[in-house]
A and B are shown apart, each in its own frame.
Chain A
Amino acid sequence: MSNHLLEVRNLRIEFPTRKGILTAIDDVSFHIDEGEVLGVVGESGAGKSLTGAAIIGLLEPPGRVAGGEILLEGRRIDNLPYEEMRRIRGRQIGAIFQDPLTSLNPLYTVGRQLTETIMTHTDMTPTKARERAIEMLTQVGIPAPERRVDQYPHQFSGGMRQRVVIALALCVNPRLVVADEPTTALDVSIQAQIIALLKKLCREHGTAVMLVTHDMGVIAETADRVAVMYAGRIAEIGPVKQVVKQAKHPYTEGLMGSIPMIGHTDEKLRQIEGSMPRLTNIPTGCAFNPRCPKAFDRCFRERPDTIPVDGTEVACWLFDKETANV
């Protein structure tokens, strides 16, 4: 049971507001195994990034973990004191953020930011740490690393900066990296390079990745398993082949249908009608019911939990034995 690297059980994240408590993440459970890439997809506001933030223990107040637990190698980490969580952060769980242009401190050289991270988590000497920093820059494909290590972030292009960010996230060999839309802010031409690099490095180091994105193409290429999130819950989770090729949840079907295909020129681009409900206004029953082409009466009454179906898990009443036959 706890041989998973990371396990999230019934996670619930709340935001207290003046109008009452908003539940942003509700009863989310999943796990990531050693060296595995879990893709997390969904529309903006589905709670993907929030889940990532909770895992690295950097939820922004007033957001808080209100229920459930997060375990790293069987040890509960969601309720650790700040200082203990800090030691895990960077050391065991690395993070990569969306915008490489703003992720680096403009006033320090990339070398100093690398050595600082390395020396915080290991007892390397400054000289050793610097060697390690140059080695990391080499690994992420930065040319002339011995020279580049003493340069400031503004002297690097966007793609190069994201490589530096990856180097920073991986410099002390964490077991897991939470990559929150690592390519969204980059040029399309560079996105593929960065994803390929991340995939290659993590495979070499045996690092597991939680890859948060809304790019299904990236997921299909990179992830071992996929979790599809909708309105703060998991709609479908399973091996990438099954989720992409034989999507079960009507929402996943819709997502897959909205990927444009080369060659299908005569077809109009498909889209899912409507938009995701606001947190203050989540419908009773299944949150997807207003947009679901296949919704039936039970979907408006009861909220579905994930049900195992052919190796994946789907939160949809269509796959419940009681109603499947109706």
Chain B
Amino acid sequence: MAAFILRRLAQSILVMLVVSLVAFYMFQFLGDPINQMVGIDTPLAEREALRERLGLNDPMIIRFGKFVLNAAQLDFGLSYQHKQPVVDLLMERMPATIELSFVSAIIAFFLALPAGVYTGLYRNRWSSKALLTLSLVGISIPTFLIGILFIYLFAVILGWLPSFGRGEVITLPGGWTTGLLTVSGLKAIILPATTLGLFTLTLIMRLIRAEMLEVLRTDYIKFARARGLTNRAVNFGHALKNTLVPVITVTGLLLGNLIAFAIITESVFQWPGMGRLFLQAIQEVDLPVMSAYLVMISFLFVVINLIVDILYYVVDPRLRVEKSGGGH
């Protein structure tokens, strides 16, 4: 187990290096940041001085080396536009994005689980068929459209929920800001979280259903019934647990997706998160912010994947036992 985790950690580091290289290199082609930072009438000499000061004249390999070393210490330099450390900018907005993503992941998973199990167990009922048809809608309508429809229905027509922003935010010790402890914050997160989670919800639901159908056909489920176990024990104890391995994989990846694709939802709902910062950074060719965002997102992906791999071990004994070698 420890060896396995170490191996995965090494792989993760490699992945992070490659992503850093891409993040670093890609943005070399996005135009000259100096142009964005200075006025039209700034003299050339001054521009050169600024270029030198920002280290933009060093050879590529040195700049990459510096980038990685600094990134490892959470130092992504100053934002060209905001003249603030990038890390501070990201950290300031990260709680909003993380909260949004996790709330929508929770909404998605805990609605998908019963819905998937239900449609898997009772696939011939009309309610199952209705749920499946509805899930197609969730998969096929783009997020921003759903967001706008939600705003129109719940904020404009019904006036139940706010249409933008994070509501009232409390700062916890450590600097983490949370909207989950105030009524207005909770109200504000419902629409964006649902919008963001809808795609994930329908995907996980359909996956669980497909896996349930598969598992319910297996011999061990028939044998469990033949032993007279209760329906609950068979469906939830035996069948559901066996569907979990693929579901965990996909859920992990989707959680990463939720964080990364929060960009769209954040801009629809004016959510003050990292995604909006990233969009602004693109418009302003704010390279340090863009690189840092990419590195940060891939770091989250890598961490989630690592957790998913460890969860496999917890769920499936067949992976655990190599060493104790019982049996044959």
Contacts and interface: CB of A to CB of B under 8 A. Distances in A.
Contacts of A89: 225-228
Given A107-B315, A151-B326, A154-B317, A58 B229 contact: no
Main SS of the interface on chain B?
helix
A154 B319 CA distance: 10
A48 B237 CA distance: 31
Interface in A3-20: none
A97 B321 contact: no
A160 B328 CA distance: 9
A157 interface: yes
B219 A121 contact: no
Contacts of B311: none
Interface stretch (A98-106, A228-236, A288-296): A98-106
B220 A103 contact: yes
Given A107-B241, A154-B318, A120 B230 contact: yes
Interface string A54-93: 0010100000000000000000000000100011111100
B318 A152 contact: yes
B242 interface: yes
Contact of A155 (B222, B231, B237, B327): B327
A139 interface: no
A88 B228 contact: yes
Contacts of B228: 86-91, 117, 120-121
B8 to A, nearest CB: 22
A168 interface: yes
B51 interface: no
A186 to B, nearest CB: 14
Contact of A90 (B226, B241, B242, B317): B226
A103 B225 CA distance: 11
Interface residues of A, number: 36
B316 interface: yes
A151 B327 contact: yes
B56 to A, nearest CB: 56
B223 to A, nearest CB: 4
Given A105-B224, A151-B326, A97 B219 contact: yes
Nearest to B220: A105
A88 B226 CA distance: 10
Contacts of A82: 231
Interface string A212-230: 0000000000000000000
Interface in A119-158: 120-121, 148, 151-152, 154-157
A106 B227 contact: no
A153 to B, nearest CB: 9
Given A90-B229, A116-B229, A154-B321, A107 B316 contact: yes
Interface of B: 218-220, 222-231, 233, 237-238, 241-242, 315-318, 321, 326-328
Interface of A: 56, 58, 82, 86-91, 94-95, 97, 99, 102-109, 116-117, 120-121, 148, 151-152, 154-157, 160, 165, 168-169
19 contacts: A89-B225, A89-B227, A89-B228, A95-B227, A97-B226, A104-B220, A104-B223, A105-B220, A105-B224, A107-B242, A107-B317, A108-B238, A109-B317, A116-B233, A117-B229, A156-B326, A160-B327, A168-B223, A168-B227
